[in-house]
Protein backbone atom coordinates (compact mmCIF):
# COMPACT_ATOMS: atom_id res chain seq x y z
CA UNK A 1 0.00 0.00 0.00
CA UNK A 2 1.64 3.25 -1.18
CA UNK A 3 -0.87 6.04 -0.49
CA UNK A 4 -2.98 6.82 2.55
CA UNK A 5 -5.48 9.26 3.99
CA UNK A 6 -6.70 9.68 7.57
CA UNK A 7 -10.44 9.93 8.24
CA UNK A 8 -12.51 10.49 11.37
CA UNK A 9 -15.86 9.06 12.44
CA UNK A 10 -17.88 10.46 15.32
CA UNK A 11 -21.32 9.86 16.80
CA UNK A 12 -23.31 6.73 17.64
CA UNK A 13 -21.24 4.88 15.08
CA UNK A 14 -21.33 1.54 16.91
CA UNK A 15 -25.10 1.44 17.58
CA UNK A 16 -25.94 2.45 14.02
CA UNK A 17 -23.49 0.02 12.46
CA UNK A 18 -21.68 2.87 10.71
CA UNK A 19 -18.23 1.90 11.95
CA UNK A 20 -18.54 -1.73 10.80
CA UNK A 21 -19.92 -0.57 7.47
CA UNK A 22 -16.94 1.75 6.97
CA UNK A 23 -14.48 -1.05 7.79
CA UNK A 24 -16.27 -3.24 5.25
CA UNK A 25 -16.12 -0.55 2.55
CA UNK A 26 -12.36 -0.23 2.88
CA UNK A 27 -11.76 -3.98 2.63
CA UNK A 28 -14.33 -4.62 -0.11
CA UNK A 29 -12.77 -1.91 -2.29
CA UNK A 30 -9.27 -3.31 -2.01
CA UNK A 31 -7.87 -1.09 0.71
CA UNK A 32 -6.59 -1.52 4.24
CA UNK A 33 -7.17 0.44 7.43
CA UNK A 34 -5.31 1.10 10.66
CA UNK A 35 -7.27 2.37 13.67
CA UNK A 36 -5.13 5.12 15.19
CA UNK A 37 -7.51 6.26 17.91
CA UNK A 38 -10.74 4.80 19.30
CA UNK A 39 -12.79 6.28 22.13
CA UNK A 40 -16.00 4.42 22.98
CA UNK A 41 -18.99 6.31 24.37
CA UNK A 42 -19.63 4.79 27.77
CA UNK A 43 -23.22 5.82 28.45
CA UNK A 44 -26.47 6.01 26.51
CA UNK A 45 -26.03 9.45 25.01
CA UNK A 46 -22.22 9.50 24.73
CA UNK A 47 -20.72 9.50 21.24
CA UNK A 48 -17.91 7.29 19.96
CA UNK A 49 -14.85 8.63 18.12
CA UNK A 50 -12.71 6.69 15.66
CA UNK A 51 -9.68 7.94 13.77
CA UNK A 52 -8.32 5.60 11.14
CA UNK A 53 -5.72 5.64 8.41
CA UNK A 54 -6.92 4.28 5.07
CA UNK A 55 -4.36 2.81 2.67
CA UNK A 56 -4.58 1.84 -0.99
CA UNK A 57 -2.30 0.90 -3.89
CA UNK A 58 -3.17 3.92 -6.03
CA UNK A 59 -4.41 7.44 -5.52
CA UNK A 60 -7.43 6.71 -7.69
CA UNK A 61 -8.45 3.72 -5.54
CA UNK A 62 -7.89 5.74 -2.40
CA UNK A 63 -10.07 8.59 -3.66
CA UNK A 64 -12.85 6.14 -4.48
CA UNK A 65 -12.67 4.55 -1.02
CA UNK A 66 -12.60 7.91 0.77
CA UNK A 67 -15.59 9.09 -1.28
CA UNK A 68 -17.62 6.07 -0.18
CA UNK A 69 -16.55 6.60 3.43
CA UNK A 70 -17.60 10.24 3.18
CA UNK A 71 -21.10 9.14 2.15
CA UNK A 72 -21.28 7.23 5.45
CA UNK A 73 -20.30 10.27 7.51
CA UNK A 74 -16.50 9.94 7.64
CA UNK A 75 -14.58 13.22 7.41
CA UNK A 76 -11.08 13.57 6.02
CA UNK A 77 -8.85 14.58 8.94
CA UNK A 78 -7.49 17.67 7.25
CA UNK A 79 -7.88 21.24 8.54
CA UNK A 80 -7.83 22.65 5.03
CA UNK A 81 -10.82 24.22 3.28
CA UNK A 82 -12.64 22.36 0.53
CA UNK A 83 -10.99 22.41 -2.88
CA UNK A 84 -12.78 24.65 -5.38
CA UNK A 85 -12.50 24.69 -9.14
CA UNK A 86 -14.34 26.94 -11.58
CA UNK A 87 -16.76 25.29 -13.99
CA UNK A 88 -15.18 25.58 -17.47
CA UNK A 89 -18.48 25.95 -19.33
CA UNK A 90 -22.23 26.01 -18.75
CA UNK A 91 -23.47 22.53 -17.74
CA UNK A 92 -19.87 21.26 -17.43
CA UNK A 93 -18.34 20.46 -14.02
CA UNK A 94 -14.70 19.78 -13.11
CA UNK A 95 -13.66 16.15 -13.58
CA UNK A 96 -13.28 15.36 -9.86
CA UNK A 97 -16.41 17.20 -8.68
CA UNK A 98 -18.05 16.06 -5.44
CA UNK A 99 -21.39 14.30 -6.03
CA UNK A 100 -23.79 14.83 -3.13
CA UNK A 101 -25.87 12.51 -1.00
CA UNK A 102 -29.25 13.61 0.39
CA UNK A 103 -27.85 13.82 3.94
CA UNK A 104 -27.12 17.08 5.79
CA UNK A 105 -23.74 18.23 4.47
CA UNK A 106 -21.23 20.85 5.57
CA UNK A 107 -18.37 22.35 3.55
CA UNK A 108 -15.34 24.06 5.05
CA UNK A 109 -15.07 27.49 3.42
CA UNK A 110 -12.85 30.35 4.59
CA UNK A 111 -11.92 28.44 7.72
CA UNK A 112 -15.48 27.63 8.86
CA UNK A 113 -18.04 24.88 8.32
CA UNK A 114 -20.97 26.09 6.17
CA UNK A 115 -24.16 24.04 5.88
CA UNK A 116 -25.25 23.20 2.34
CA UNK A 117 -28.58 24.77 1.42
CA UNK A 118 -31.38 22.63 -0.03
CA UNK A 119 -29.34 19.42 0.01
CA UNK A 120 -30.36 16.67 -2.41
CA UNK A 121 -28.64 13.69 -3.95
CA UNK A 122 -26.61 13.55 -7.18
CA UNK A 123 -25.80 17.24 -7.41
CA UNK A 124 -22.68 19.39 -7.52
CA UNK A 125 -21.78 21.70 -4.63
CA UNK A 126 -21.33 25.34 -5.58
CA UNK A 127 -19.68 27.86 -3.25
CA UNK A 128 -20.47 31.57 -3.15
CA UNK A 129 -17.63 33.27 -1.22
CA UNK A 130 -18.28 35.97 1.36
CA UNK A 131 -18.98 39.35 -0.21
CA UNK A 132 -17.34 42.70 0.30
CA UNK A 133 -20.25 43.75 2.49
CA UNK A 134 -19.41 41.05 5.02
CA UNK A 135 -21.96 38.51 3.82
CA UNK A 136 -21.23 34.97 5.00
CA UNK A 137 -20.16 32.41 2.39
CA UNK A 138 -22.90 30.16 1.03
CA UNK A 139 -22.86 26.61 -0.31
CA UNK A 140 -25.74 25.19 -2.31
CA UNK A 141 -26.52 22.32 -4.64
CA UNK A 142 -26.91 22.55 -8.39
CA UNK A 143 -28.01 19.84 -10.78
CA UNK A 144 -25.51 19.49 -13.60
CA UNK A 145 -27.67 21.16 -16.21
CA UNK A 146 -27.91 24.27 -14.00
CA UNK A 147 -24.14 24.73 -13.54
CA UNK A 148 -22.88 27.94 -15.11
CA UNK A 149 -19.43 28.79 -16.40
CA UNK A 150 -17.32 30.19 -13.56
CA UNK A 151 -19.31 28.56 -10.73
CA UNK A 152 -16.95 27.54 -7.92
CA UNK A 153 -17.52 23.79 -7.70
CA UNK A 154 -16.30 21.63 -4.80
CA UNK A 155 -13.94 18.85 -5.87
CA UNK A 156 -12.44 15.92 -3.99
CA UNK A 157 -13.35 14.98 -0.40
CA UNK A 158 -11.29 17.45 1.64
CA UNK A 159 -13.32 19.90 3.71
CA UNK A 160 -16.62 18.02 3.40
CA UNK A 161 -18.61 16.59 6.30
CA UNK A 162 -21.73 14.45 5.83
CA UNK A 163 -24.11 13.64 8.68
CA UNK A 164 -26.28 10.60 7.85
CA UNK A 165 -29.32 10.22 10.15
CA UNK A 166 -28.35 7.83 12.91
CA UNK A 167 -30.51 4.94 14.02
CA UNK A 168 -31.78 5.72 17.54
CA UNK A 169 -30.71 3.40 20.33
CA UNK A 170 -34.30 2.16 20.74
CA UNK A 171 -34.21 0.90 17.16
CA UNK A 172 -37.16 2.94 15.90
CA UNK A 173 -37.13 4.49 12.46
CA UNK A 174 -38.40 7.85 11.28
CA UNK A 175 -41.70 7.14 13.03
CA UNK A 176 -42.18 5.28 16.28
CA UNK A 177 -44.61 2.76 14.80
CA UNK A 178 -42.18 1.23 12.31
CA UNK A 179 -38.56 0.19 12.08
CA UNK A 180 -38.21 1.77 8.64
CA UNK A 181 -37.86 -0.28 5.48
CA UNK A 182 -40.85 -2.14 4.10
CA UNK A 183 -43.92 -3.46 5.89
CA UNK A 184 -46.27 -5.74 3.94
CA UNK A 185 -49.59 -5.71 5.71
CA UNK A 186 -53.05 -4.25 5.75
CA UNK A 187 -52.79 -0.84 7.45
CA UNK A 188 -53.87 -1.19 11.05
CA UNK A 189 -55.60 1.51 13.02
CA UNK A 190 -52.41 2.16 14.99
CA UNK A 191 -50.34 2.75 11.86
CA UNK A 192 -52.91 5.12 10.44
CA UNK A 193 -53.10 6.96 13.75
CA UNK A 194 -49.33 7.53 13.78
CA UNK A 195 -49.34 8.94 10.25
CA UNK A 196 -52.37 11.10 11.06
CA UNK A 197 -50.60 12.42 14.16
CA UNK A 198 -47.62 13.43 12.03
CA UNK A 199 -49.93 15.25 9.62
CA UNK A 200 -51.61 17.07 12.51
CA UNK A 201 -48.23 18.12 13.89
CA UNK A 202 -47.12 19.47 10.54
CA UNK A 203 -50.37 21.37 10.18
CA UNK A 204 -50.09 22.74 13.71
CA UNK A 205 -46.56 23.95 13.00
CA UNK A 206 -47.67 25.53 9.71
CA UNK A 207 -45.49 23.09 7.80
CA UNK A 208 -46.14 21.49 4.44
CA UNK A 209 -47.58 18.06 3.62
CA UNK A 210 -46.78 17.05 0.06
CA UNK A 211 -48.82 14.24 -1.48
CA UNK A 212 -47.45 12.37 -4.50
CA UNK A 213 -50.28 10.70 -6.40
CA UNK A 214 -50.67 7.90 -8.92
CA UNK A 215 -53.74 7.03 -11.07
CA UNK A 216 -54.38 3.90 -8.98
CA UNK A 217 -55.84 6.19 -6.32
CA UNK A 218 -58.76 6.81 -8.67
CA UNK A 219 -59.01 3.23 -9.97
CA UNK A 220 -59.04 1.72 -6.48
CA UNK A 221 -61.65 4.03 -4.96
CA UNK A 222 -59.42 6.28 -2.84
CA UNK A 223 -60.08 9.43 -4.82
CA UNK A 224 -63.03 10.81 -2.85
CA UNK A 225 -61.25 10.32 0.48
CA UNK A 226 -58.17 12.15 -0.82
CA UNK A 227 -60.34 14.96 -2.12
CA UNK A 228 -61.85 15.34 1.35
CA UNK A 229 -58.37 15.58 2.89
CA UNK A 230 -57.43 18.29 0.41
CA UNK A 231 -60.63 20.17 1.15
CA UNK A 232 -60.06 19.88 4.91
CA UNK A 233 -56.60 21.44 4.66
CA UNK A 234 -54.45 18.37 5.35
CA UNK A 235 -52.72 18.52 1.95
CA UNK A 236 -50.57 21.57 1.19
CA UNK A 237 -49.15 20.57 -2.18
CA UNK A 238 -49.72 17.84 -4.74
CA UNK A 239 -47.33 16.22 -7.21
CA UNK A 240 -48.56 13.88 -9.91
CA UNK A 241 -48.53 13.13 -13.61
CA UNK A 242 -50.93 13.82 -16.44
CA UNK A 243 -52.56 10.42 -15.92
CA UNK A 244 -53.67 11.04 -12.34
CA UNK A 245 -55.30 14.35 -13.18
CA UNK A 246 -57.01 12.95 -16.29
CA UNK A 247 -58.53 9.99 -14.44
CA UNK A 248 -59.62 12.18 -11.53
CA UNK A 249 -61.37 14.53 -13.97
CA UNK A 250 -62.80 11.60 -15.96
CA UNK A 251 -64.34 10.26 -12.76
CA UNK A 252 -66.12 13.58 -12.29
CA UNK A 253 -67.26 14.03 -15.89
CA UNK A 254 -68.21 10.45 -16.75
CA UNK A 255 -68.20 8.44 -13.51
CA UNK A 256 -65.46 6.20 -14.87
CA UNK A 257 -61.72 5.71 -14.58
CA UNK A 258 -59.99 4.23 -17.63
CA UNK A 259 -63.48 3.62 -18.93
CA UNK A 260 -64.56 1.49 -15.96
CA UNK A 261 -67.35 2.57 -13.62
CA UNK A 262 -65.57 2.73 -10.26
CA UNK A 263 -68.79 1.93 -8.37
CA UNK A 264 -70.30 -0.94 -10.40
CA UNK A 265 -67.05 -2.02 -12.14
CA UNK A 266 -69.05 -2.18 -15.39
CA UNK A 267 -67.72 -1.07 -18.77
CA UNK A 268 -70.16 1.48 -20.22
CA UNK A 269 -70.49 1.85 -23.98
CA UNK A 270 -67.62 3.96 -25.38
CA UNK A 271 -66.12 4.02 -21.88
CA UNK A 272 -62.66 3.39 -23.33
CA UNK A 273 -62.89 6.82 -24.97
CA UNK A 274 -63.77 8.71 -21.80
CA UNK A 275 -60.21 9.64 -20.90
CA UNK A 276 -59.55 11.25 -24.29
CA UNK A 277 -62.96 12.96 -24.19
CA UNK A 278 -62.01 14.34 -20.77
CA UNK A 279 -58.75 15.77 -22.08
CA UNK A 280 -60.61 17.35 -24.99
CA UNK A 281 -63.12 19.06 -22.69
CA UNK A 282 -60.41 20.48 -20.42
CA UNK A 283 -58.36 21.69 -23.40
CA UNK A 284 -61.48 23.31 -24.84
CA UNK A 285 -61.89 25.62 -21.83
CA UNK A 286 -58.16 26.25 -21.34
CA UNK A 287 -57.22 24.22 -18.26
CA UNK A 288 -58.30 22.65 -14.99
CA UNK A 289 -58.90 25.92 -13.10
CA UNK A 290 -60.97 27.23 -16.01
CA UNK A 291 -63.03 24.02 -16.02
CA UNK A 292 -63.73 24.45 -12.30
CA UNK A 293 -64.70 28.09 -12.72
CA UNK A 294 -66.99 27.18 -15.61
CA UNK A 295 -68.73 24.53 -13.51
CA UNK A 296 -67.64 21.72 -15.84
CA UNK A 297 -65.69 20.11 -12.99
CA UNK A 298 -67.39 20.20 -9.59
CA UNK A 299 -65.78 17.47 -7.48
CA UNK A 300 -62.63 15.43 -7.03
CA UNK A 301 -59.01 15.99 -6.06
CA UNK A 302 -58.13 18.51 -8.76
CA UNK A 303 -61.35 20.40 -8.03
CA UNK A 304 -60.44 20.67 -4.33
CA UNK A 305 -56.91 21.79 -5.21
CA UNK A 306 -58.28 24.65 -7.31
CA UNK A 307 -60.93 25.64 -4.78
CA UNK A 308 -58.51 25.56 -1.83
CA UNK A 309 -55.50 27.13 -3.58
CA UNK A 310 -53.42 23.97 -3.13
CA UNK A 311 -50.53 24.18 -5.63
CA UNK A 312 -49.97 21.18 -7.84
CA UNK A 313 -47.31 20.03 -10.28
CA UNK A 314 -48.31 17.72 -13.13
CA UNK A 315 -45.12 16.36 -14.69
CA UNK A 316 -45.56 14.90 -18.15
CA UNK A 317 -44.02 11.82 -19.74
CA UNK A 318 -43.53 10.43 -23.24
CA UNK A 319 -46.61 8.20 -22.92
CA UNK A 320 -49.13 10.91 -22.00
CA UNK A 321 -52.36 11.35 -23.94
CA UNK A 322 -53.23 14.95 -24.69
CA UNK A 323 -51.74 16.12 -22.44
CA UNK A 324 -53.77 18.46 -20.25
CA UNK A 325 -52.87 22.17 -20.59
CA UNK A 326 -51.66 22.15 -16.96
CA UNK A 327 -49.13 19.36 -17.58
CA UNK A 328 -45.49 20.41 -17.76
CA UNK A 329 -44.07 18.68 -20.83
CA UNK A 330 -40.50 19.99 -20.59
CA UNK A 331 -38.60 17.45 -18.44
CA UNK A 332 -36.14 19.97 -16.97
CA UNK A 333 -38.91 22.43 -16.17
CA UNK A 334 -40.89 19.64 -14.50
CA UNK A 335 -37.86 18.57 -12.44
CA UNK A 336 -37.35 22.13 -11.23
CA UNK A 337 -41.02 22.45 -10.26
CA UNK A 338 -40.86 19.14 -8.35
CA UNK A 339 -37.62 20.30 -6.71
CA UNK A 340 -39.30 23.45 -5.37
CA UNK A 341 -42.11 21.37 -3.87
CA UNK A 342 -39.70 18.88 -2.30
CA UNK A 343 -37.56 21.56 -0.67
CA UNK A 344 -40.64 23.02 1.02
CA UNK A 345 -42.06 19.71 2.28
CA UNK A 346 -41.96 18.64 5.92
CA UNK A 347 -43.84 15.37 5.37
CA UNK A 348 -44.32 13.50 2.09
CA UNK A 349 -46.95 10.86 1.37
CA UNK A 350 -46.16 8.86 -1.78
CA UNK A 351 -49.31 7.11 -2.87
CA UNK A 352 -49.17 4.35 -5.47
CA UNK A 353 -46.79 5.72 -8.08
CA UNK A 354 -43.30 4.44 -8.81
CA UNK A 355 -42.27 7.06 -11.37
CA UNK A 356 -43.23 10.12 -9.36
CA UNK A 357 -42.23 8.68 -5.98
CA UNK A 358 -38.66 8.16 -7.20
CA UNK A 359 -38.63 11.57 -8.91
CA UNK A 360 -39.70 13.38 -5.73
CA UNK A 361 -37.53 11.13 -3.54
CA UNK A 362 -34.46 12.15 -5.53
CA UNK A 363 -35.06 15.78 -4.51
CA UNK A 364 -35.71 15.19 -0.80
CA UNK A 365 -33.16 15.60 1.98
CA UNK A 366 -32.84 12.53 4.19
CA UNK A 367 -34.30 14.52 7.10
CA UNK A 368 -37.75 14.80 5.47
CA UNK A 369 -40.17 12.21 6.82
CA UNK A 370 -41.55 10.14 3.98
CA UNK A 371 -44.26 7.47 3.77
CA UNK A 372 -44.54 5.38 0.60
CA UNK A 373 -47.69 3.30 0.12
CA UNK A 374 -48.16 0.91 -2.80
CA UNK A 375 -49.64 -2.53 -3.44
CA UNK A 376 -46.51 -3.33 -5.47
CA UNK A 377 -43.48 -4.07 -3.24
CA UNK A 378 -41.13 -3.06 -6.08
CA UNK A 379 -42.25 0.55 -5.80
CA UNK A 380 -41.33 0.74 -2.14
CA UNK A 381 -38.06 -1.19 -2.40
CA UNK A 382 -36.87 0.76 -5.45
CA UNK A 383 -37.47 4.05 -3.64
CA UNK A 384 -35.41 2.84 -0.69
CA UNK A 385 -32.68 1.37 -2.90
CA UNK A 386 -32.45 4.61 -4.88
CA UNK A 387 -31.26 6.40 -1.75
CA UNK A 388 -34.39 7.57 0.10
CA UNK A 389 -33.40 5.56 3.17
CA UNK A 390 -35.57 7.72 5.43
CA UNK A 391 -38.76 6.48 3.73
CA UNK A 392 -41.16 4.13 5.46
CA UNK A 393 -42.68 1.66 3.02
CA UNK A 394 -46.13 0.15 3.43
CA UNK A 395 -47.19 -2.48 0.91
CA UNK A 396 -50.97 -2.38 0.88
CA UNK A 397 -54.06 -1.42 -1.12
CA UNK A 398 -54.19 2.34 -1.61
CA UNK A 399 -57.99 2.17 -1.84
CA UNK A 400 -58.03 0.93 1.76
CA UNK A 401 -55.27 3.15 3.11
CA UNK A 402 -56.59 6.59 2.09
CA UNK A 403 -60.17 6.16 3.39
CA UNK A 404 -58.79 4.91 6.72
CA UNK A 405 -56.48 7.91 6.91
CA UNK A 406 -59.42 10.18 6.07
CA UNK A 407 -61.55 8.65 8.79
CA UNK A 408 -58.79 9.11 11.37
CA UNK A 409 -58.16 12.76 10.48
CA UNK A 410 -61.76 13.87 9.96
CA UNK A 411 -63.52 11.78 12.61
What's the rounded mean pLDDT across residues 136-148?
96
Q: Is pLDDT at 167 greater than 60 in this prediction?
A: no
Q: Is pLDDT at 326 greater than 80 in this prediction?
A: yes
Q: Of the ranges 27-41, 202-216, 334-348, 368-382, which one carries the lowest mean pLDDT score?
A: 368-382
Q: Of the ranges 3-12, 114-123, 225-234, 378-387, which one carries the lowest mean pLDDT score?
A: 378-387
Q: Of the ranges 175-184, 280-289, 349-358, which one carries the lowest mean pLDDT score?
A: 175-184
Closest to 241 in 3D by CA, of 336, 313, 300, 339: 313
Assign 26 a pLDDT band (cuts: 50, 70, 90). very high
Q: Of the ranges 95-104, 133-142, 203-212, 289-298, which one carries the lowest mean pLDDT score?
A: 133-142
Q: Output the pLDDT for position 171.
A: 47
Contact 330, 185 (CB under 8 A): no
Q: Is pLDDT at 264 greater than 90 in this prediction?
A: no
Q: Give the DSSP letter of residue 346.
A: S
pLDDT in tens, 168-226: 555 444 454 444 555 555 556 788 899 999 999 999 999 999 999 999 999 899 999 99
pLDDT in tens, 62-84: 999 999 999 888 999 888 999 99
Single pTM value for the model: 0.85
The domains found in the chain, sorted by start residue, are: 1-77 (3.30.70.2690), 79-165 (2.40.420.10), 181-244+308-410 (3.40.50.10690)
Q: Output the pLDDT for position 17.
A: 85
86 vs 135, residue with greater confidence: 86
Distance of CA 411 to the CA centre of its chain: 30
What's the rounded mean pLDDT across residues 315-334?
95
Mean pLDDT, the chain, integer: 89
The CA-atom distances, in angstroms, between 375 and each of 258, 294, 353, 379 are: 19, 36, 10, 8
DSSP states of 18-72: HHHHHHHHHHHTT-EEEEEEEE---STT--EEEEEEEEESSHHHHHHHHHHHHHT
Amino acid sequence: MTVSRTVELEGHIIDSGTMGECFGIVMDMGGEFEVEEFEVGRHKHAETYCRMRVLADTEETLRTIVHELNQQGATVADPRDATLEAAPEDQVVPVDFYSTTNHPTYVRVEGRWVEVEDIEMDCALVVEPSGEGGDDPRVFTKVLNAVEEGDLVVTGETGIRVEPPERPRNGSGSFGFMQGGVSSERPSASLIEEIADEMREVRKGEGTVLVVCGPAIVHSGGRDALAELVGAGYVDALSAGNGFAVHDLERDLYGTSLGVDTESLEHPRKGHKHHIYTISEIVRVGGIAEAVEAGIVDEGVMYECVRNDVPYVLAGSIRDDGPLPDTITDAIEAQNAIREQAHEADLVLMLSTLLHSVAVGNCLPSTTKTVCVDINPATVTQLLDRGSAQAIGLVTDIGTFIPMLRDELLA
